[in-house]
C-alpha cells in the first residue's frame, strides 16, 4: 500500500509543480509546497537541470514519509493548483519601447519574456504569506503610486502592445489584494510595476 501510494504522490507531484526563475543568480527553481514540512525544491542553471534536481529531491523526500504523511500530501496536491494549468493568464498593455526593451533583456539573459516579467514582479513584491508583510507592501505602493484612482490611459493606444503571462492563483490573490488597497485594477497595477521596473533599469526610459 505504501509503495503504491508513494508512486501516486510521485506521479502527481512531478506534474503539479511551480516553476520560477531568479534572474539575479540566473537560477531556475521548481517548487512543490505540499510535501514534507518545508516542501520540495529543485535548482539549476537550466530548466531541465532544475527539474531533474527536483525529481531527485522529491524521490528522496517521499522515501522518508509515512503513509499518513503521503496521504496528506496527495490530498493537498489534488485539492490545490494543477501546476502551469492552474495559473491565471494575465494580459497587460505596455508602450512599444518598453516591451522591446524587456524582450532584448530576456534574450540577453536567455530566458522567456514571461519569466522576466514574473521576476520583475517578484523583485518589486516578494512572496509572502504574512499579513504584516502584505500590509507593508500595500503602504509602499500607496505611497509610490499616490493612491491614484482609475483614470483614462494617457499613452496613445497605437503605441501600446499586449503582453501575456501567467501567475499562480495564490500569487494573483496576494497581488489583487494590494491592487485593491491602492484603488487600481490588478492589470493596471501590474502594468505600473513592470513599466516602473523597466524604466529604473534603463536611464533613457527614465529620462523621457
pLDDT-based confidence at 178, cuts 50/70/90?
Answer: confident
**What pLDDT is attached to residue 110?**
80
All residues at 6 or more sequence positions from 80 whose CB lies less than 8 Å from its CB, including other chains:
16, 34, 86
**What pLDDT is attached to residue 197?**
82
Task: Select the more confidently predicted residue: 23 or 181.
Answer: 181
**What pLDDT is attached to residue 203?**
41
Q: Count CB atoms within 10 A of the CB of residue 24.
A: 7
**What pLDDT is attached to residue 88?**
74
- Do 98 and 46 form a contact (C-beta atoms < 8 A)? no
Q: Which long-range contacts (CB under 8 A, 24 or more apart) does 149-156 make?
A: 149/183, 150/183, 150/184, 150/185, 150/188, 155/95
For residue 32, the surrounding DSSP H or E stretch is strand 27-32
Cα 194 from Cα 204, distance rounded (Å):
16
Give residue-wise pLDDT tens across range 107-126: 888 888 888 888 888 777 76
**What pLDDT is attached to residue 147?**
43
Give backbone dihedrals phi and psi of 161, rounded to 5 degrees, phi first: -130, 145
Give residue-wise pLDDT tens across range 46-60: 878 888 999 999 999
pTM for this one? 0.53
**What pLDDT is attached to residue 62?**
95
All residues at 6 or more sequence positions from 74 whose CB lies less than 8 Å from its CB, including other chains:
5, 8, 9, 12
DSSP, residue by residue, 138-151 = HHHHHHHHTTPPP-
Give residue-wise pLDDT tens across range 187-201: 888 998 898 888 765
**What pLDDT is attached to residue 208?**
36
Task: Select the more confidently predicted residue: 176 or 60.
Answer: 60
Work out the mean pLDDT of the chain and round it to a whole number: 78
**What pLDDT is attached to residue 111?**
80
3-state secondary structure of 35: coil
**What number is the average pLDDT over the span 130-153?**
61
Task: Select the more confidently predicted residue: 55 or 182.
Answer: 55
Amino acid at each position: 500500500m505504501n509503495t503504491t501510494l508513494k508512486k501516486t504522490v510521485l506521479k502527481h507531484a512531478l506534474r503539479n509543480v511551480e516553476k520560477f526563475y531568479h534572474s539575479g543568480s540566473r537560477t531556475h527553481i521548481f517548487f512543490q509546497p505540499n510535501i514534507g514540512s518545508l516542501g520540495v525544491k529543485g535548482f539549476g542553471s537550466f530548466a531541465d537541470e532544475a527539474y531533474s534536481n527536483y525529481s531527485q529531491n522529491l524521490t528522496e523526500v517521499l522515501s522518508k514519509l509515512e503513509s499518513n504523511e503521503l496521504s496528506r500530501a496527495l490530498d493537498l496536491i489534488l485539492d490545490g493548483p494543477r501546476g502551469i494549468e492552474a495559473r491565471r493568464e494575465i494580459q497587460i498593455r505596455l508602450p512599444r519601447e518598453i516591451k522591446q526593451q524587456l524582450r532584448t533583456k530576456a534574450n540577453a539573459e536567455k530566458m522567456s519574456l514571461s519569466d522576466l516579467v514574473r521576476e520583475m514582479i517578484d523583485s518589486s513584491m516578494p512572496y509572502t504569506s504574512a499579513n504584516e508583510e502584505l500590509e507593508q507592501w500595500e503602504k509602499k505602493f500607496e505611497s509610490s503610486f499616490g493612491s491614484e484612482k482609475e483614470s483614462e490611459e494617457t499613452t496613445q493606444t497605437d503605441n501600446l502592445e499586449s503582453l501575456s503571462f501567467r501567475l499562480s492563483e495564490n500569487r494573483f490573490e496576494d497581488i489583487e489584494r494590494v491592487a485593491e488597497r491602492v484603488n487600481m485594477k490588478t492589470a493596471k497595477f501590474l502594468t505600473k510595476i513592470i513599466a516602473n521596473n523597466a524604466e529604473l533599469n534603463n536611464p533613457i526610459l527614465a529620462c523621457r
